[in-house]
């Protein structure tokens, strides 16, 4: 079988071997329900709290401010809808951006159907939010601002600290979707000034189906799922113990290795960008060249169809994407690239490459050589 070279770490990451080993006992011998009072139940509960501490340490939060969820999308839904329902008597206006993840955008669209008013803020050509437009959009009924920390398609990092100042000056809650950022850049919720932050395990080498929501102490949100009293009565349902333990271990590893991780990803990303700009004509780097996630390279190839490009890369054992995995079933151009003002001739040829710690230089060279060959072939056959 041909070697698979994986360059789609923004879609999902491989479970770390140490994370997997840490999870195994809670899938086999330590299978107790954390709500039970006997020994294997108490052990499960202890390990959940231990994992909660590790997640908190990754983002410099208090342990009691971390709530486990089923995924990053659930965390976004829980934050946005929870604040909306809690504060509906105070106001019905929410501010977000045009380049948010579908979990945020579709939560807002759902609330619009219930009478909430949503302002979708523009971004510049690099995907950076227009701060003046955001500030001007605030009115007396504004109850929440939700802006992602880093974009999942083009990697642009938003000025959350500046947005926080705008929000706090007006007494408005701030949520950030940090699903792509957590584990890839240092995060300090106190420094950012956010009231809520969403993260997901499978973006930082933990399993799929586990996420977390940071809720700053004193922030009230209404639960939107009924059942038992788990997660301090904020999120019902028997806890996914093994995955929670895995998320805790992944956060511990990410916290320990952050400096080296960022440096390595930046090196191979910059090498990749430099080489393809040298070797392939008529290409465009999407997103901010410097202010972006260390492993992200989103590039558009003129006169190339992104879908055809992906299929030809796949035939060479290369995994990449044209944008968000959550939008892969759509034939519409990327809403993120459209929001940056990119024309059709560039949006249709976009390719998202997201590097991980398993990618070696020889893999990157193989990717570069393959792109040079495939792009030339596609253009020649047009």
So what's the pLDDT on residue 150?
98
User: 151, exposed or middle or buried, with CB in 10 Å at 0-12, 13-18, 19+?
Assistant: buried
Per-residue pLDDT of 261-278, as tens digits, reads: 999 999 999 999 999 999
Residue 238: what pLDDT? 85
The pLDDT value recorded for residue 330 is: 54
Strands 211-215, 66-69: pairing is: antiparallel
Query: For position 4, what pLDDT does the model report?
Result: 93
CA angle 77, 199, 226 (to 5 degrees): 40
DSSP characters over 161-222: HHHHHHHHHTT-EEEEE-TTTBTTB---HHHHT-SEEEEEGGGTTS-SS-EEEEE-TT----
Instruction: Please choose, from the candidates 224, 244, 246, 242, the residue with its C-alpha nearest in 3D space to the C-alpha of residue 233.
Output: 224
Torsion region of 49: left, alpha or beta (phi above 0 gives left; psi -120 to 50 gives alpha): alpha
Which of 17, 16, 13, 19 minimizes the C-alpha distance to 248? 19
pLDDT digits (tens, 9 = 90+) for 233-259: 788 788 899 999 999 999 999 999 999
d(CA 74, CA 209): 10
The whole-number pLDDT of residue 208 equals 98
* Strand partners of residue 118: 94
- d(Cα 346, Cα 342) in Å, to the nearest integer? 6
Compute the distance between CA of residue 319 and CA of residue 298 in angstroms, rounded to an integer. 14
Overall average pLDDT of the 84-102 stretch: 97
Partners of 292 in the beta sheet? Answer: 156
Q: How high is the pLDDT of residue 182?
A: 98
Strand partners for 200: 211
Max Cα separation, the chain? 69
Residues designated catalytic? 326
**Structure confidence by residue, pLDDT tens digits, 301-335:** 999 999 999 999 999 999 999 865 554 545 678 99
Cα 254 to Cα 249: distance, rounded to the nearest angstrom: 9
What domains are defined for the chain? 5-13+258-380 (3.90.1150.10), 17-253 (3.40.640.10)
- Residue bearing tokens 């410097």: 290
Cα 359 to the chain's mean position, in Å? 20
Q: Considering only CA atoms, which of 292, 301, 341 is closest in space to residue 322?
A: 301
pLDDT at site 332: 77
The pair of three-digit structure tokens given for residue 36, joined into one six-digit string: 């039970």
Q: How much is the pLDDT for 219? A: 96
Q: Is the pLDDT of residue 1 over 60?
A: no
**What is the distance between the alpha carbons of residues 258 and 186, in angstroms, rounded to a whole number?**
7
Helix axes 72-86, 102-112, angle to 10 degrees: 30
């Amino acid at each position: 079988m041909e070697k698979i070279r994986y360059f789609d770490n923004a879609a999902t990451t491989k479970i770390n071997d140490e994370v997997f080993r840490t999870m195994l006992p809670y899938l086999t011998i330590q299978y107790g329900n954390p709500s039970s009072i006997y020994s294997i139940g108490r052990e499960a509960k202890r390990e959940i709290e231990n994992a909660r501490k590790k997640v908190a340490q990754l983002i410099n939060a208090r342990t009691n401010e971390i709530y486990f969820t089923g995924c990053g999308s659930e965390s976004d839904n829980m934050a946005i809808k929870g604040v909306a329902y809690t504060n509906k008597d105070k106001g019905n206006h929410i501010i977000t951006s045009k380049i948010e993840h579908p979990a945020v955008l579709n939560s807002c669209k759902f609330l619009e159907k219930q009478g909430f008013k949503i302002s979708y803020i523009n971004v510049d050509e690099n995907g950076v939010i227009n701060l003046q437009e955001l500030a001007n959009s605030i009115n007396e009924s504004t109850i929440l601002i939700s802006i992602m920390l880093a974009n999942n398609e083009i990697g642009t990092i938003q000025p959350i600290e500046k947005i926080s100042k705008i929000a706090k000056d007006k007494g408005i809650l701030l949520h950030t979707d940090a699903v792509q950022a957590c584990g890839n850049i240092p995060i300090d919720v106190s420094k950012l000034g956010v009231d809520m932050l969403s993260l997901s395990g499978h973006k930082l080498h933990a399993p799929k189906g586990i996420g977390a929501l940071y809720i700053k102490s004193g922030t009230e949100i209404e639960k939107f799922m009924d059942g038992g009293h788990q997660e301090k009565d904020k999120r019902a349902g028997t806890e996914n113990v093994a995955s929670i333990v895995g998320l805790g271990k992944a956060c511990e590893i990410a916290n320990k290795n952050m400096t080296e991780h960022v440096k390595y990803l930046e090196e191979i990303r910059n090498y990749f960008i430099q080489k393809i700009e040298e070797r392939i004509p008529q290409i465009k780097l999407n997103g901010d060249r410097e202010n972006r996630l260390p492993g992200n390279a989103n590039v558009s190839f003129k006169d190339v169809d992104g879908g055809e490009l992906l299929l030809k890369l796949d035939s060479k054992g290369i995994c990449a994407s044209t944008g968000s995995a959550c939008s892969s079933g759509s034939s519409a151009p990327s809403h993120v690239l459209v929001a940056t003002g990119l024309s059709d001739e560039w949006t249709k040829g976009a390719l998202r490459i997201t590097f991980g710690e398993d990618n070696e230089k020889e893999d990157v060279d193989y990717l570069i050589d393959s792109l040079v060959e495939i792009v030339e072939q596609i253009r020649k056959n047009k």
